[in-house]
A and B are shown apart, each in its own frame.
Chain A
């Protein structure tokens, strides 16, 4: 210990480290900030997990389009602790997205973005965007089938931007096709560009927090008045402030450790996301989906009214970003207490519920055809030879990919388990031949006998036992 103390004193005498760090660590903060204030530091902990595990992964990851998949497979399946490390990087990203969202909600609900902390909110919004970008570019770096096709989907969305859309898409791809230059670019974005900006933004975020102080817990009796707030805040700190270290920092340490422990445990228990097929664009059997934190957006894209995609893809993120950025500039004074801000509480409930519902929808993806639907068998497909043939056609013609019968099949179209109770054979025939209501017309691909068999099968699907009967003629 004495040696360590001597070394530290020698170092401190030459750097004045304690004089520089001491006042920062012990700067006064409001009393009773409590556990609601730990999410910002926890987000930083999650980011540091990403930096450390990312650097370790980068020592083995080959950012070449032709070899990235193999190197990641090696990291996952062969390298010592590679699976755990990849898992930590994945769950660290998930923690970062989750925590930055919670931190933002806490800041919004407690009105902490109001004077004089408006710029800190703006920086926080930019950090939210950068965090999502990191998540997305990280998903692409898996460079498996999902990664390659997700890149194309991203370029396609960039292509919807008016005037410069195609140029933006080419910029993302690093050329005119997904290939060698694409992965190198995304690797550079994910490892150098975006983290560098995040470091700078986090630095500014912390400097601004030190400059303006941590916001005190809101009180309904104390609305923010920019003319008097600073003097009041300084006086309050002088009267009842406590040093950040260790009076408030211990909670950050406890929660930070909890976050790290959760990330390590989840990584150990569940491992990283499985790699799908190699990144061969000629393998068509791919189903690109975003990681969980963007599944809600995936659901939005599936349910947009026809013809509105371009407007929403470009306009919605733009509008959301602008709203978030101007929020503290428009509402920078007045009440901070959630009990006096019902619209703020309602908007958070609405947004969280909406994202939750969309996330569930994205998880279920009822709009996606079920290509794995098995041929109908058993009682469902029994009856006359014509009915049996119709049941086979129902599968072979792809009807089952979109329609469910007796629990089998996709959910894109209506459930046809009891369709004969709703439609007559004539109506069924017309619907099959002409399509409509978002269903293709099969008039050109089905023979008359096939249509007859298909209708005969569907006509067995009633509310009763499902084996006989049908709608009245």
Chain B
């Protein structure tokens, strides 16, 4: 190859940088939509929906029962995982409290012991009183509460995102 046909060092440097830049642009054209798609759940508005869990008369005063309802952001293919639950307490004055079933330690499902009026977590032994405050064990916070309202005789719980404490 003659000297005339050889690229100058400056031109080679330019072409190298140009090739790398074009590759970066191509990667960005593919990568930005992919990353955006994967990160989309982080930017979605908080989904909250009122779900009816029963008539006010169907809950006995002083009792705590599990109520099941559709979660706030179900997708068509979720199947049973589109359902969620809460512990609903009907106070002696007729008002209601709804507790998340998730232990605030690590999110395991707490069980209600009606006779002892305690919530107990099977994973690491967290215990809560009937008002959701911590009674024993490692939980750092009281049970998370959902908003509850009674409309036209129906008890409604505000279905919310899975609590992350």
Contacts and interface: CB of A to CB of B under 8 A. Distances in A.
Interface of A: 64-67, 148-149, 152-153, 155-159, 165-167, 169-171, 173-183, 278-282, 284-289, 301-302, 304, 306-307, 309-310, 367-369, 371, 396-398, 401-402, 412, 435, 438-442, 444-445
Chain A: interface secondary structure? loop
28 contacts: A155-B164, A156-B106, A170-B42, A171-B38, A171-B41, A176-B46, A176-B47, A177-B84, A179-B81, A180-B75, A180-B76, A180-B78, A183-B81, A280-B81, A281-B71, A281-B83, A281-B84, A282-B66, A282-B68, A282-B85, A286-B108, A287-B108, A301-B124, A302-B123, A368-B125, A396-B116, A438-B137, A440-B118
Contacts, number: 191
Given A181-B41, A438-B136, 5 more contacts: A173-B41, A284-B110, A396-B115, A398-B120, A440-B116
Chain B: interface secondary structure? loop
Contacts of B66: 282, 284
A435 B46 CA distance: 39
B80 A288 contact: no
B53 to A, nearest CB: 11
A201 B89 CA distance: 53
Given A179-B78, A282-B83, A155 B107 contact: yes
Contact of A284 (B79, B107, B109, B140): B109
B147 interface: no
A422 to B, nearest CB: 20
Given A284-B66, A284-B101, A397-B116, A180 B82 contact: yes
Contacts of B71: 177, 179, 281
Contacts of A440: 116, 118, 127, 129, 135-136
Contacts of A152: 102, 107-108, 162
Nearest to A179: B78
Nearest to A412: B125
Contact of A149 (B74, B83, B108): B108
List the 8 shortest-distance A-B pairs measured between CB atoms, nearest first: A66-B79, A176-B161, A180-B75, A440-B135, A159-B164, A156-B107, A180-B78, A282-B85
Contacts of A157: 106
Contacts of B81: 65-66, 148, 178-180, 182-183, 279-281
A284 B42 contact: no
B42 A167 contact: yes
B157 interface: no
A454 to B, nearest CB: 12
B91 to A, nearest CB: 14
B73 interface: yes
A188 to B, nearest CB: 9
A177 B162 contact: yes
Contacts of B84: 177, 281-282
A39 B72 CA distance: 49
B83 A309 contact: no
A300 B46 CA distance: 33
A217 B130 CA distance: 64
A175 B41 contact: yes
B25 interface: no
Contacts of A284: 66, 85, 101, 109-111
Contacts of B130: 445
B122 interface: yes
B41 A153 contact: no
B120 A401 contact: yes
